Structures are given as structure tokens and as C-alpha cells.
Structure 1
Amino acid sequence: MLASIANLSIANQFLIAASVVVFGLMAAVSFYTASQVEQSALKAAGSAGAARMQTSIAPLIRRGAGDAFLFDDQFRRDINSLVGQGPKGQRITNVKIWLADGTAVFSVKAENAGGAVMFDELKAALAGETIVSRTIEEKHGYSQVEKDEALLEIYAPLLINVDGRVILAGEIYLESNMLEEQISRSRAISMIAVFLVSVPMLSLLYLIVRRSGRVIDEQRQTLRESLRNAIDLSIENNRLRVMADNARVEAGKLNERILDQIGADLHDGSLQVLTLVKLRLSDLLSADDLPQSTRSALGKLLDLVSMTLEELRNLSAGLILPELEHVCVREAIELALKRYFEITGCDVRLEVGDDIDLRVHDLSICLYRFVLEGLMNSFRHARGNRQMVRCVFIRGRLYVSVADFGARQVLSSAKEVNRARLGKVSQKRRIRSFGGRMRYFPRPTGSIAVAILPINV
């Protein structure tokens, strides 16, 4: 049942819950009102019964010899004349008289006469109080008719001596039809009143909740559509991101191949031509019959060709890649340091973590270029500084740093400034092509270039 209720709309769930609460409260209010009416009616009946005892029964009691009370035939006839009197539904059906010790000395129906019994209601009446009870709670002997009709019992002082002590207590039985009618009428009126108030209130609240429920359903549908669109966009974005990553990696591969091809073309083409030109100029300068002005011009031209040839050789050496197909990251960095030593003749300190065993061809090329470019920049602009390369793997990220220690780099010309800027840009592009980032930290005693690459192990 709870599952069925949970599947209902918010408005219907509210209607069920509110109906249970309101009608439960209605029943509670009606029973409380009936209880209060019953208490009030009992008190009124008790006061009226005590007054009837004092006005109708007490004057009939006569004393005999020795202050004994006479409950003779005359007294019985007088009392019997009172039975059946009163308004309909409140007539007297029986009269009992009790002594101070609990002895029943008189009863219209002559039951239990002469028997001594003491109970709470009688004690209260002998103490001067008026008590109203019902025959449904058996306190002493009752006839079957009295039990079935649930009559009212009124206990009250009947005679009081000069000391203020009750010497006789009276008990009269009254019909309770009118009281029951009053209680039923009060319960019905209270239930009708609560119903008439509750139904419009519930109807108004139901309409409000139903309207709010429709708004919530519409918003829920809108949110579901937005969520569906967001999921579709997320899937499309992931697809485009994967495509962009693949395109970036392919572009990096193509760029490295182009650089390698450029280096090979320079080495096999332009460098050989310039070498032949240098040899030819050297042959011309070795002739003995050259004028001094021609010899001087040829010498300057030879120096220029030699300088150009050296620059092209350096460029070609940096562009041509070694065999990096099956090497790990550590071996790629070691190859970069070896190539740097071949070009410059300078040793570099290397620190690599023992837990690094990555074999990704494109990543090896990227780190080879990054380390070699960083070392060459340091060699060109801070020659004489001590150099160190460090590689560590921490929390899913690979950190590769190229540092030099000694003197701060000094760029003497605009050409060197532009060349250094282009070198840093190319390094950053290589690192970004793998989803990483590069940081450069110039210091008074050198510089540090750090590449941070995310690695999915």
C-alpha cells in the first residue's frame, strides 16, 4: 500500500495524508467535546440530585425512640411515591439510604438492606461530597436491569448532625437517556462542524498543492530534458575532446617528422654544398698569384661560409632524431644528453626516479626535444653554468626539469632574445600537445624549465 501511495502524484499524496490527519483530529475533537459535555452533565445531574434529596427525601425521615431512624411502611410509601417522578429521561428509579458505617438501611427495591459495605463513592458522600457515577462500574450489588440501563448514581449527604458529621448518606438512581442524547448530539454537532470547516480547507489546500505539483512536474520534465541535453553535450564534448587530442598528437608526430626531414635535408643537401664551397674557397686562397685585395675578400667570404656551415650543422644536429621507436622515457632523456654532449662536449647531471618505466613513442620524442632544447638554450645564453636534468613521477604526473646553476642568462642582442622566445614557445607547444604545461623560472643564479605531464598508468 505504501508503494502504491508513493506512486501517486504529490497532490493525491497530500490529500490522503491531510484527510487522515484532519479527520483523525475531527474524531478526537468530537470525543473530547462529548467527554466535556458528559462531565458537565454529570455535575449538573449531581447538583440537581443532591438538591432533590434534600428537598424530597430528607424531610420524610423521622426519628424514633433513642434517636433511631424510622424506616417503616409509611416512609416506604412516601419514598415510593417519589420513584418515577421527574422529567422524561431523568426520572428516579431507586432510592437507597446508608448509615455512617456503610450499612444499607433502606432501599426501595429492598436489595442488600442490612448489609454493610464501604466503597470510595460512599466514603466521599459521608465526607460531605456529592458524587455522580454510573451503574456500569459495579461498586455494590446491582440488579440486572440497573446494569443494562447504565443508570446514573448520585451519592450525597442526607442528614448532618450538629457537629457537621454526616450521619445518613443518600443514593438515588436516575435515568440517563437524556444525558446520552446530549452526548450523542454534542458529538454529532462537533463532527459536523469540523467536517464543514475541514472540507473547504482541504479542497483549497488540495487545489494549491495540485497547482504546485503541476509546476513541479513541469520543472522536473524541464530538468530531465536539460539533463538529457547536458549528457548528450557531454558525450559530444568528450568525443570532440578525444578527436582534438588525437589531432594534437598526430600534429605533434607530423611536426617531429617534418623537423626530422628538414634536418636530414639540411645535412644531405645544403651542408654538403656549403662544404664544397668552403673547400673551393680554401683552394683559391692557397694560390700564390692572387692579389692582396682578392685574397682579403676571399678570406672574409670563407669565414662567413664557415660560420654559416657551423650554424647549419648545429641546427641539423638538433633537428635529426635518433632512433626512439622502442625506448622508454629514461632512455630518451639519456639520448638527449648524449646528443648534447656530442654537440657541445659538456656533461650534464641526470636524476631519474627508479619507478619510471614508460614506453610511449610520442612522449619519448616530446621529452627528447624538450630536454635538448632546454640544454641548448642554457648553453647558448649561459655558457659555463652547471646543468642538471631531473625526472620524477608523483601522483599520476611526470615532472621533467632542466636547470642550470651559475650566472644568470644574458641575451646580448635582439636576435638572441627572439631566438630564446621562440625556443620557449616551441617547448610549451610540445608539452601542451600531450595535455601538460610548462613553467619557466628565471633566477639570479640561473634558470629552471619544468614540464608537467599527466600520465594515465
Structure 2
Amino acid sequence: MVVLGQWMSARITSSYVHARADAGALYMEGFLAAHVQELSDGRTALSDGKADLLDDLLDNTGLAHRVEGMKIWLRDGTIAYSTDKSLIGKKMPSSEVDAGFAGKVSSKIEQSPDKEHAGQMIKNYPLLEVYAPIYKEDSSQVIAVGEFYEKAGGMIAALSRSTRSTWVIVGAMTAMMAGLLYLIVRSANDLIVRQRYLLHRQLDASQALSDQNDKLRQAAELARMDASKSNESVLNRIGADIHDGPVQVLSALLLRPSDAGSVQRLAKHVLDELREISSGLVLPEIETVPLESALRLAVQRHRSATGTAVAERYTNLSMQVAHPLKICLYRVVQEALNNAFRHGAGLGQKVEAAIDDRQIITVSISDSGPGFAARSATDQTRKPLGLDGIRNRVDAFGGSLEIISADDNGAMILIKIPLAGNGA
């Protein structure tokens, strides 16, 4: 763009100077040629009359405000006329004069005096110096070359304004093109960045999905193994309950003779034991009741079975939830209370449950017993499902399990299960 601006400025200056030079040539041909025709007769200087006419033309017309000086050159470099009378008759060879006799118009801007103008009375610089051929009337013969000095201050000011305008236009075009290029490059860069970001996100998502699949596969395998262990624990518990209850009673009945009344009482006791065991395996009575009623049933059965007190507090549990979730919470409360009775002597048993504004079910089962650390790890009389069973049930519904215990300060089992995906 700098080269373009310089080229345009140079072209404008050159065109302007040549236009002024051509105008000067036309002036010489139209106004001066008639006064210098006598030079075609071999004269070396204009006659006094013709010289006076030229002086009057330059002094008393509008040219006086534009033209600083003028000369008429002969072919050999002799000055036949000059506004500076001291130069008339002198010979000063010049390449511009030679070009003028060849029929060419030449011009240049003089910013300050040079050696050619040393001693001349020209003072008002800068000047436009123009050389133009003067032809013999009705002929193509060049009889002289006219040189005049036009005051160039206004012209140079106009050229300066034109140059500034040119540079302003070039600068504006440069800025516009640079702006467009910037926008194009910026847009392309943003597109590349967005595509790279999307690719990274897709890659991260693919990796996360792969990791999630691995975790799900591992969780499924662990759940399968836990389910197998839980089933085995259930079978062991059922076997222990039957062995320690009805089987022992029946064995006692077989080992000692009894009267009819005694047999009837023992048979009734066996029947009650079997009914209690079977009631723990199926829960048809909680399918249609709200969650609060299902939890109250678990607590009521624990009271009936153990004869211990259990405090209860329920908040916002009147809504209906999915039956599998009710069974899960029922079994959790049932197993946690059994643990509280078995290991904590049933002291300070308490069940609390609520559904908060985030639709999360929170259930806590606590006691005032000795805590988990003080409980005997050797009590295998009736092996329960235990904490692993509770954890597996809660995990199946996307919930969390927290065990809070302190020595001689009781224990608490706290579970949280989201209703999202587990509703009615």
C-alpha cells in the first residue's frame, strides 16, 4: 500500500505538471509566436518594438501575477529575449532547449535557484519552469524555444492537498482491507478453535462414556456377586430361623412324651414360628399404602417381636412411591432395627424419615447402645443380611449410606435416596 500511495502521488504530480506545461505551450503558440516571427529571418535578438510588446504583455496583464520571468532561446543557445535584460545575447547551451527545438515540451519544478539561474533576478521560488517550441507561421519549423517561469506556490499547495487526500484514501483502503483480512483470519481462527474444542469435548465425552461403561461393568459384576452373597445370607437366615425355632420345638416334642394339651401348645408354637418366618419373606400388605404407612408397619412389627420401644418421626411421607422402593426402605428399617436390638440391646431406638424440597428421601435409624466399635464380631447365632445387605439395597436405587458411630454413644445408619427415577 505504501508503494501504491507513492506511485499515485507521483502520477498525480506528473500529470498536473504536464498539464500546466501544455497550457504554457499553448499560450506561447497563441500569444507569443506572432511577436517572435522575425527570428525566422536569422536575427539573434528581438527588435526593440517586439521586446517592448512582450514586456508590456507580461507587466500589464494578468500574467504578471502568474509569470515570474520569460526567455526566448535560439537554436545555438543564444537568448534572443529575456525579462532580465542582462541575459539578452548571452549563449547558454541547455538540454531543455535542444528538446524544445526537437518539438518537445518539457517542464520541471524549481524549489530554489540553481547554477543556471545564478545572478538572475528571479526571486519567488518555487517556480514551474516550462520549455516549449515556437513554430514559424503556417509551418512545422521551430524558430525558437520559449522558456517561462510560472509561480508554483499555489500549484504545489494544491498538489500537497491532492497528495494528502491520496494518502488518506490509500490509508482508508489499507485499514479497510486490513480490517477485512483481520475479520477473515479471526473468523477462521474462531472456527478452528470451536472445532478443536468440540473435538476435545467429543473425545472427553467418549473417554468418560468408556470409563462409565467400565465402572458400570464392574458395578454390575460386583452387584452380581453381592446378590449371590445376599441370597446365600437370606438362605442361611431362613435355615437358622427354621432350625432354631420350629425344628427345635418339633425335636422336643419327639423326645419327650406329652399329653394332648402339651402337644397342641407345641404345635401352635411351631405354627406361630413358621408364620413369623413367612411374614418376613413376603410383604403383600405394603403394596398399596403410602411410604409412611410401610415404615410404620416395619416399626410396629419390630416392637411386637422384641417388646422394645421405638420412637418415630415422619415428615412429608404421605406421597406414593414405587413399590420396589418401599420394599427397600422397609427392609432397611427392619434390618437396622434388628441390629439395634441385637447389638445395642434396643436402647434409644429411633426412626426418622422425610422428603425434602429437592425430592430426596432421608431415613435415619439410631440407637443409644455401645456403638459399632464395641459390638462383638463373634455373634454368629443368627447371621443377618447386615450392613452389606443394606448398602446393596440402597446402591440399587442410586442412594448413599452413611454410618455414624461413637464408643458408648450409640450408632446411626443414615441413607439418602433420590426420588428422581424412583417415583410411583
Q: Which TM-score applies when normalising by structure 1?
A: 0.45
Q: Which TM-score applies when normalising by structure 2?
A: 0.48
